[in-house]
């Protein structure tokens, strides 16, 4: 009898343990390419948005593409350098960026497949922009200090970038066809004007657009402003209709773990089971969003790619998010981000305009 009671105790303990662990069920999932690794670079914005564009191509019925993240990065380094020089050094220059930077790079310089341009030199085992950033910034600062830069500085900047990332081919072969970066971009059928950025803050009127005041918005990109309920509705509608979402937000919270593959906003951050079991989460409001934005506890630390929606055993909804830190976590590089986390820590989204619900599009004046 004692043996049976002991076995029953063990069985109940294991059952309760399994019930307590996260159990995710996918509700909808978009097609996307494989997990990548940004390695020792601050270029998550290019990885997230390149993946977003690759999913767009899949949605459009195109074959799988692997776009060169580093080609977009290189194009934006050039644009940042011009901006830095024109503003006499009083501007942001570094590795960071935003989703609209990739869209702008696509417009300005076209696109290249990863197989043609990796942004690594022969013998490089990984991407590392730490020394390159110092070298490029140093060059620009010297040019600014001399007060009378000549037009030659742009050639010098391009040559230094070549030294670290390799020269960009003027023409290349891909799938037995010859392309330039511009003609390759045209062949993809992506219209850059179809993509819009959205945010949700009360220091500007809702259903208007404004230049979002975050450090990496060096290009003064404009964002549509909507209530947080609309931001959630846009993300949900996008995924449900087969569109994916480029996400920009804060990953510095204690409830975010890339290695554990979970992002939550717990009421009690000291919980021992924070990343292993569901628990009570903060009820994120519009007021909280504004407060955390203005006191810097919400910052745009990282960009990722939302490709699906799931729920846990308690019914809490999660966004299935493709990260760019390699195949880490129990979910091979993906992060399950709870809706409370999304509501409070999302800084902005980028979507195809057709992914926005019709009623919200009308309020925004998007045709």
122 pLDDT above the threshold of 80:
yes
Neighbouring C-beta atoms of residue 315, cutoff 10 Å: 8
pLDDT band at residue 13, thresholds of 50, 70 and 90? Answer: very low
Query: What are the domain boundaries of the chain?
Result: 24-29+38-270+279-364
Q: Which CATH architecture has domain 24-29+38-270+279-364?
A: Alpha-Beta Complex (3.90)
What percentage of residues in the chain have a pLDDT greater than 90? 93
Cα–Cα dist 25/239, whole Å? 15
Residue whose tokens read 């996400």: 247
The pLDDT of residue 18: 45
CA distances from 176 to 62, 168, 179 (A): 17, 19, 10
10 pLDDT above the threshold of 70:
no
Do the bridges between strand 222-225 and strand 317-322 make them parallel or antiparallel, or are there none, so unpaired? unpaired
Rg of the chain taking only CA atoms, in angstroms = 23
What percentage of residues in the chain have a pLDDT greater than 70? 95
Q: Are 111 and 181 in contact (CB under 8 A)?
A: yes
Q: Which residues pair with 349 in a beta bridge?
A: 198, 247
Average pLDDT in the chain: 94
The pLDDT of residue 182: 98
Do the bridges between strand 245-249 and strand 195-199 make them parallel or antiparallel, or are there none, so unpaired? unpaired
Q: Are 319 and 306 in contact (CB under 8 A)?
A: yes
- Higher per-residue confidence, 31 vs 98: 98
163-196 pLDDT tens trace: 999 999 999 999 999 999 999 999 999 999 999 9
17 pLDDT above the threshold of 90:
no
pLDDT band at residue 213, thresholds of 50, 70 and 90? Answer: very high
218-249 pLDDT tens trace: 999 999 999 999 999 999 999 999 999 999 99
- Per-residue pLDDT, averaged over 52-71, amounts to 97
Cα–Cα dist 114/128, whole Å? 17
The 3-class secondary structure across the chain, one letter per residue, is CHHHHHHHHHHHHHHHHHHHCCCCEEEEECCCCCCCECCECCCHHHHHHHHHHHHHHHHCCCCCCCECHHHHHHHHHHHHHHHHHHCCCCCCCCCCCCHHHHHHHHHHHCCCECCCCCCCCCCCCCCECHHHHHHHHHHHHHHHHCCCCCCCHHHHHHHHHHHHHCCCCCCEEECCEEECHHHHHHHHCCCHHHEEEEECCCCCCCCEEEECCCCCCCCCCEEEECCHHHHHHHHHHHHHCCCCEEEEECCCCCCEECCCCEECCECCCCCCCCCCCCCCECCCCHHHHHHHHHCCCCCCCEEEEEEEEEECCCCCEEEEEECCECCCCCCCCEEEEEHHHHHHHEEEEEEEHHHCCHHHHHHHCCC
The pLDDT of residue 20: 63
Angle between helices 130-145 and 69-86 (to 10 degrees): 20
126-177 pLDDT tens trace: 999 999 999 999 999 999 999 899 999 999 999 999 999 999 999 999 999 9
Cα–Cα dist 17/11, whole Å? 10
101 pLDDT above the threshold of 80:
yes
Q: Which is nearest to 179 in space by CA: 119, 122, 103, 116?
A: 116
Cα–Cα dist 282/265, whole Å? 6
291 pLDDT above the threshold of 80:
yes
Cα–Cα dist 116/168, whole Å? 9
Q: Which is nearest to 70 in space by CA: 32, 35, 36, 100?
A: 36
Q: Which is nearest to 363 in space by CA: 226, 199, 223, 200?
A: 226
Cα–Cα dist 291/288, whole Å? 5
């Amino acid at each position: 009898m004692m043996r049976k009671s002991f076995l029953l105790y063990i069985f109940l303990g294991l059952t309760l343990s399994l019930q307590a662990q996260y159990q995710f069920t996918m509700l909808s999932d978009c097609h996307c390419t494989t997990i990548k690794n940004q390695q020792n670079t601050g270029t998550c914005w290019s990885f997230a948005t390149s993946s977003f564009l690759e999913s767009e191509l899949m949605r459009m019925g195109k074959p799988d593409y692997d776009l060169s993240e580093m080609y977009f990065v290189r194009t934006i380094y050039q644009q940042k350098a011009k901006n830095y020089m024109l503003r006499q050094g009083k501007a942001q220059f570094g590795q960071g960026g935003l989703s609209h930077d990739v869209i702008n790079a696509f417009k300005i310089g076209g696109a290249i497949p990863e197989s043609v341009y990796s942004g690594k030199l022969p013998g490089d085992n990984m991407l590392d922009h730490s020394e390159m950033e110092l070298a490029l910034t140093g060059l620009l600062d010297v040019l600014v200090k001399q007060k009378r830069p000549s037009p030659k500085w742009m050639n010098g900047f391009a040559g230094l970038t070549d030294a670290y990332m390799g020269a960009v081919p003027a023409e290349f072969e891909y799938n037995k066809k010859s392309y330039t970066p511009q003609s390759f971009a045209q062949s993809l059928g992506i219209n850059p004007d179809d993509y819009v950025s959205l945010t949700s803050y009360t220091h500007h009127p809702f259903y208007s657009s404004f230049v979002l005041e975050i450090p990496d918005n060096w290009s003064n990109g404009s964002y549509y402003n909507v209530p947080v309920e609309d931001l959630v509705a846009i993300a949900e509608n996008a995924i449900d209709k087969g569109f994916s979402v480029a996400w920009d937000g804060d990953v510095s919270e204690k409830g975010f773990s890339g290695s554990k593959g979970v992002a939550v906003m717990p009421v009690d951050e000291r919980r021992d089971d924070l990343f292993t079991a569901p628990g009570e989460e903060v009820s994120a409001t519009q007021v909280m969003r504004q407060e955390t934005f203005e006191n810097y506890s919400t910052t745009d630390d990282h960009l990722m790619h939302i490709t699906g929606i799931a729920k846990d055993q308690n019914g809490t909804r999660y966004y299935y998010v493709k990260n760019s830190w390699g195949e880490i976590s129990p979910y091979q590089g993906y992060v399950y981000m709870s809706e409370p986390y999304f509501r409070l820590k999302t800084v902005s989204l980028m979507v195809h305009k057709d992914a926005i619900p019709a009623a919200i599009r009308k309020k925004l004046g998007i045709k």
